[in-house]
């Protein structure tokens, strides 16, 4: 089965930017980088990878994509239900047609407050 057939969910990639608060303080605001990107979201339960151990990363989910979306460490992904903190993105080596975002699910948040 091809990856595009597995990608039945829609995700949005968001990046934090510094903004000014009402009292002049610096606050973090989330800017949408990519929207409605087809993805498959899988719970990560495989054996620990040496690469993840060396980096000290906590990964709870893997998001599979058919194209790169420019995700970086510190970005977050929203699937309509939950937010995921991006740990790193990897090319799976299938002629640039298979990508994985390794992420940690964040505690439930109110999308209205954190958008």
Query: Domains of the chain by range and CATH?
Result: 3-108 (2.40.10.270)
Strand pairing category for 61-65 and 99-105: antiparallel
Going by pLDDT thresholds of 50, 70 and 90, the confidence category of residue 56 is low
Q: For residue 43, report the phi and psi dihedrals to the nearest 5 degrees.
A: -75, 135
Rounded Cα distance between 82 and 80, Å, is 6
Which residues are within 8 A (CB) of 106 and not within 5 positions of it... i.e. 6 or more apart? 76, 82, 83, 84, 85
Angstrom distances, CA of residue 20 to CA of 23, 34, 49, 89? 8, 23, 40, 30
Query: Looking at residue 67, what is its pLDDT?
Result: 86
* Range with the poorest average pLDDT among 21-30, 46-55, 78-87: 46-55
Higher pLDDT: 28 or 5? It is 28
pLDDT greater than 80 at residue 4: no
């Amino acid at each position: 089965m091809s990856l595009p057939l597995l990608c039945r969910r829609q995700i949005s990639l968001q990046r934090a930017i510094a903004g000014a608060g009402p009292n002049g303080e610096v606050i973090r605001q989330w800017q949408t980088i990519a929207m409605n990107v087809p993805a498959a979201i899988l719970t990560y339960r495989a054996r620990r990878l040496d690469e993840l151990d060396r980096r000290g990363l906590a990964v709870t989910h893997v998001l599979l994509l058919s194209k790169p979306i420019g995700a970086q460490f510190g970005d977050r992904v929203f699937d309509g239900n939950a937010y995921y903190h991006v740990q790193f993105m990897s090319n799976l080596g299938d002629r640039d047609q298979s990508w994985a975002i390794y992420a940690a699910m964040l505690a439930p948040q109110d999308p209205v407050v954190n958008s």
